[in-house]
Amino acid sequence: MSLKKLIKKCANNDRKAQEEIYQLFAGKLFSVCLKYSKNKQEAQDNFQDGFVTIFEKIGQFKFNGSFEGWMKRVMINTVLLKYRNKTVLNIVTEEIPDEVIVDIDDEEISLDFLLNLIQSLPDRYRMVFNLYVLDGYSHKEISKMMQIAEGTSKSNLARARFILKQKIEAHQQGQQSI
């Protein structure tokens, strides 16, 4: 069955079509949730809530652009909404250098280790870091998505990079990093 037919059936609450969509995209969307969550349990909660939202809003998909991209945006917005409702996205006014350069020895630093470092960031820093660095959103887009000022987005990104740099350097020197 074509993806377009599956989407239309999902819009009509066809459980079998929903299961097929879930099977097709669960892995990729769970990895999105892992990026935006503190740990695996929180990622699973965000993933479940995101899929509920996707199936509630699937009728709004207009077949313009990528369906996977649309689902990813819905998933990210669902996670951001949860964080905005928790009011964890506080304004930070610390002065941090604009550009932080991190020297990484690829043989010593695994992808899992980097993911753990990113997950250990405070929520507001992790959100901005992921949106800007990993998903390519601009500070203007991030400010709208997170309902913060562009300057706050920039300072949160700089602070996230600074924290990550410190943790990576500590790890490379054989110290505790998380």
Residue with tokens 């995209």: 25
Q: Which of 51, 70, 53, 72 is nearest to 61 (CA)?
A: 70
- Residues 62, 48, 156, 117, CA torsion sign: negative
Q: Give per-residue pLDDT as tens, 32-76.
A: 998 888 889 999 999 999 999 999 999 999 999 999 999 999 999
Q: Give per-residue pLDDT as tens, 113-161.
A: 888 899 899 999 999 999 999 899 999 999 999 989 999 999 999 999 9
Q: Which helix (H) or strand (E) holds 32?
A: helix 15-35
More confident residue, 132 or 88: 132
Q: Which domains are assigned to the chain?
A: 3-86 (1.10.1740.10), 111-172 (1.10.10.10)
Residue with tokens 């996230």: 160
For 159-177, what is the mean pLDDT?
A: 83
Res 93 pLDDT > 60: no
pLDDT value of position 12: 95
- pTM value is 0.71
The DSSP annotation for 80-148 comes to HHHHHHHT----------S-------TTT--HHHHHHHHHHS-HHHHHHHIIIIIT---HHHHHHHHT-
